[in-house]
Amino acid sequence: MKIKLYNKIAKCGLTRLPATFQVGEEIREENGILVRSADLHETAFPESLAAIARAGAGVNNIPVEKCAEQGIVVFNTPGANANAVKELAVAALLLTSRLVPDAMEYAKTLAGNPDALKLVEKEKSRFVGPEIMGKTLGVIGLGAIGGGVANAALALGMRVLGYDPYASVDAAWALDSAVEKVDDLDRIFKESDYITVHVPSLPSTKGILGGANIAKMRDGVRLLNLARADLAVDADILAGLESGKIAAYYTDFPTGALAGQKGVVATPHLGASTPEAEDNCAVMACDQLADYLVNGNIKNSVNMPAVKLGRSMENRIGVIMKEGTDVEALVAGGNLARGTRGGYTYLLAERDAAFDVEAIKSVGGVIRVTSY
């Protein structure tokens, strides 16, 4: 198997790939891709490509639907970097509240000044910022990251409102019962002193920190975006900062329009940049990619269903097809697992008798057939 690297992937993950795999940046006719943030939207994929594994949660740098149409399975690593992003979000709450970045800039100007300590006492009133204890934090998106931020904020004495109409059962279990679940997003906007977004970039979430929503927010609200650039509307954020509606905007995605502007606290997409998160993501991405390429098992795909089948028989086959396609008669006689998601069905079958791969391929609706 050939694996092409589009970004640096931690070695502790790469060493988990089978020794027979060829891995590198110059690989051609690859069977798998490992990627972090490289944009693959304009990439022409070879026919040999069966899977893309993203070492991270967001997949907006990958043409997920186009991949599904071509039978290319896209994986991500949900939760693997959640603690890293959570910790930076907690830092962001405090940085924006206590005006730490501005205060640090001022402190730098004192270098070599013999009156530094006197000036510190004179000027410190310019950098007064509120405590977060007792304030309300609105968390939009209660997945592994948002849920972690909500729990941490409770521990710091905040009141926490959480909004997530799509929360998984696992996420709900992990959430502290003191987080107030709200069904109406407007309540988050109206009642929060701080709002943090932890949702993917989707048509339904783009611009969530913008226009009419900002108008509903409390005066002096502080906004945190460690999720994706396009969740915020830059012009509306800048207008809110200018008018005082927004006291501070923390972004991990500084666009040219936002960088350096008053009230903007920015970091260069550092949410998951910890050694621990990079290792966790690499291990998860490599394990999932190898298990698919070697055994046909799918776990944590964003465009195909989760399907797993233990190996006990001689012949094994994976079939990606349009939902409703019928290949039952051609794969019967052994063990079978299948799942359907977003209009696609994945079927993994094994049996002692050989499969007629060409016959399965010729069924209308079948997209890709792979023998394992």
- Residues lying near ligand MLT in the complex (CB under 6 A) are found at 36-37, 56-58, 81, 269, 271-272
- Bridging pattern class, strands 264-266 and 194-197: unpaired
d(CA 247, CA 245): 6
For residue 310, what is the DSSP state? -
Of the pair 71, 143, the CB lying nearest ligand MLT is at 143
d(CA 351, CA 361): 18
Contact 273, 84 (CB under 8 A): yes
Residues 6+ apart with CB under 8 A from 310: 335
Of the pair 200, 305, the CB lying nearest ligand MLT is at 200
Output the smallest distance, CB 2 to ligand MLT, in A. Answer: 24
Q: What is the 3-state secondary structure (H, E, C) of 263-309?
A: CEEECCCCCCCCHHHHHHHHHHHHHHHHHHHHHCCECCECCCCCECC
Of the pair 269, 368, the CB lying nearest ligand MLT is at 269
Q: Quick one: which of 275, 274, 230 has its CA closest to 251?
A: 230
Output the smallest distance, CB 277 to ligand MLT, in A. Answer: 8
Alpha carbon 246 to its chain's center: 26
Of the pair 81, 300, the CB lying nearest ligand MLT is at 81
d(CA 165, CA 102): 37
Output the smallest distance, CB 200 to ligand MLT, in A. Answer: 8
Output the smallest distance, CB 41 to ligand MLT, in A. Answer: 16
Residues 6+ apart with CB under 8 A from 298: 73, 75, 292, 304, 305, 306, 307, 308, 339, 346
Output the smallest distance, CB 273 to ligand MLT, in A. Answer: 6
Of the pair 3, 302, the CB lying nearest ligand MLT is at 302
Alpha carbon 272 to its chain's center: 10
Of the pair 277, 331, the CB lying nearest ligand MLT is at 277
Of the pair 164, 350, the CB lying nearest ligand MLT is at 164
Beta strands in the chain (DSSP E): 2-5, 22-24, 32-35, 51-54, 73-75, 136-140, 159-163, 180-181, 194-197, 221-225, 246-251, 264-266, 315-322, 335-341, 344-351, 366-371
Of the pair 199, 367, the CB lying nearest ligand MLT is at 199
Output the smallest distance, CB 258 to ligand MLT, in A. Answer: 17
Output the smallest distance, CB 227 to ligand MLT, in A. Answer: 8
Output the smallest distance, CB 85 to ligand MLT, in A. Answer: 7
